[in-house]
Amino acid sequence: MAEVILEVALEGLEFFGYHGYYEEEGEKGNWFKVDVKTTSLLQDPSLLDRDELGNTVNYEVLYSIVQQEMENRVKLLETVAYRILERVKCYPHVENIEISVTKLNPPVGGDCKSAKVTLKTKA
């Protein structure tokens, strides 16, 4: 059987957090959205027919990783995304990871719906 590419993603995860470069951001907080996507190349796709969670990426675990990192205040969105990405690498069969962190209404001195950073890597 041919190899199969499996994508497991969580989109639009919402968190209130205190990430931001400025002291005021650390005090007032803000809303954030996070997207996580993993890609796995399945050498033996018939494993999925066994209906076992261990043969895929557990998105409950992905959510927990994101939640934990969103609770740890850092200054840069890039840092949050990087820390999530590094922890998602725990899955040995994941080939690619993409993490996006979006800050809603960032303090840029004018109207701005959101600021977003995205990291992509081969695991």
Catalytic residues: 103
How would you classify residue 88: left for phi > 0, otherwise alpha for psi between -120 and 50, otherwise beta?
alpha
Which residues on neighbouring strands pair with residue 69, listed in sequence order?
A: none
Return d(Cα 20, Cα 76) in angstroms, integer. 6
DSSP 82-113: HHHHHHHTT-TTEEEEEEEEEEES--SSS--S
Q: What are phi and psi of 75, to 5 degrees?
A: -80, -35
CA angle 43, 46, 51 (to 5 degrees): 120
